[in-house]
């Protein structure tokens, strides 16, 4: 299954918006497997920890992202100083950590990659995907487990 979601195509060119919705984002290094994509727009889904990342380089490429900490997850994520600097972040408070969501027709199989999140600096509009070395971070964390993780932390 692909990490990229394909949005429905329009019937005519006039229906394609000239500017995609959301905030401009430039990747300082390409996302894994999508080397030709660098310019995006980040569109928050109101009232949720989810966003759509729309590619400006390929109008058929869209990624679903989850704001990991906003969703109530608290994985042991360590961002290196060099990774933070590469997106213009001065410290960790300048960084939003976003997990790439793999969508599935079966809601129980929807998962997020916690090992290779996208780090984003809202003040600079720069982002990059980082591969973390912590083996405890799952590549396929099922979203149905989010509520279980929240309940465990509450106890």
Tens digits of per-residue pLDDT, 81-104? Answer: 999 999 999 988 899 999 999 999
- Residue 129 is given by DSSP the state E
φ/ψ of residue 33, rounded to 5: 85, -5
Question: Which residue, among 130, 96, 91, 92, has the nearest Cα to 113 in the 3D structure?
Answer: 130
pLDDT band of 144, cuts 50, 70, 90: confident
Specify the 3-state DSSP secondary structure of 81. Answer: helix
What is the Cα–Cα distance from 87 to 108, expressed in whole angstroms? 34
Residue 6 pLDDT greater than 80, yes or no = no
| Residue 153 pLDDT | 64
Strand boundaries in 4-88, DSSP class E: 23-27, 39-44, 50-55, 62-67
**Which pLDDT score is estimated for 7?**
39
Residue 137: pLDDT over 80:
yes
* Structural domains of the chain, ranges and CATH numbers in brackets: 18-154 (2.30.290.10)
* Predicted TM-score (pTM) of this structure: 0.83
Between 13 and 28, residue with greater pLDDT: 28
């Amino acid at each position: 299954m692909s990490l990229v979601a394909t949005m429905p195509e329009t019937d005519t060119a006039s229906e394609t918006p000239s500017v995609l919705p959301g905030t401009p984002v430039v990747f300082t290094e390409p996302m894994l497997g999508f080397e030709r994509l660098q310019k995006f727009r980040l569109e928050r889904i109101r009232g949720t920890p989810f966003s759509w990342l729309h590619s400006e380089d390929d109008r058929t490429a869209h990624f679903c992202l989850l704001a990991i900490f906003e969703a109530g997850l608290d994985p042991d994520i360590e961002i290196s100083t060099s990774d933070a600097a590469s997106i213009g972040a001065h410290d960790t408070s300048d960084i939003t950590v976003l997990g790439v969501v793999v969508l599935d027709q079966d809601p129980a199989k929807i998962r997020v990659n916690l090992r290779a999140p996208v780090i984003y600096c809202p003040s600079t509009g720069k982002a990059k995907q980082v591969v973390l070395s912590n083996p405890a971070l799952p590549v396929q964390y099922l979203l149905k487990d989010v509520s279980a993780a929240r309940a465990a932390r509450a106890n």
